[in-house]
Amino acid sequence: MSNIGIVLGRFHRKEVEEMLDEARTVAARRGLGIVAEVWVPGSMEKPLAIKRLLMRDDVAGAVALGIIERGETEHGNVMGHAVISSLIDLQLQFMKPVGVGILGPGINPSQIPPRIRPYAAAAVDACADLIEQG
């Protein structure tokens, strides 16, 4: 069994707890163990937490879950692009997959509920697929 770690943003804690529930279900279905669930303040902290997980010998991949909601400025867009770029760089640096289940940037509140579980599931499935190919 391969192991993964999950990094979660606590800014939208209620919704992200639902994402975590879905991620656990999909991980179990895919035969993945979850060796760490790391809560961080928001998306800016996710790359460092993911890096710490990828450095572990017992972690074959990681998943980032959270929400970057539409704000009144471009902060969310800038942050979202920086975070995704950093996560891609970490995949390539460690040659371990990072499944990204971050809603947004720029998502409207009404768009969040129907996407919570599908995004979490897709992030774990992407990670699992690449672990299997490894």
- Tell me the C-alpha distance between 74 and 97, whole Å: 28
Region label for 95, one of left (φ > 0), alpha (ψ between -120 and 50) or beta (otherwise)? left
Catalytic-labelled residue, pool 10, 29, 70, 75:
75
Beta strand segments in the chain, E: 2-9, 32-40, 61-69, 98-107
81 is catalytic: no
- Tell me the C-alpha distance between 79 and 58, whole Å: 30
What amino acid positions are annotated as catalytic residues? Answer: 75
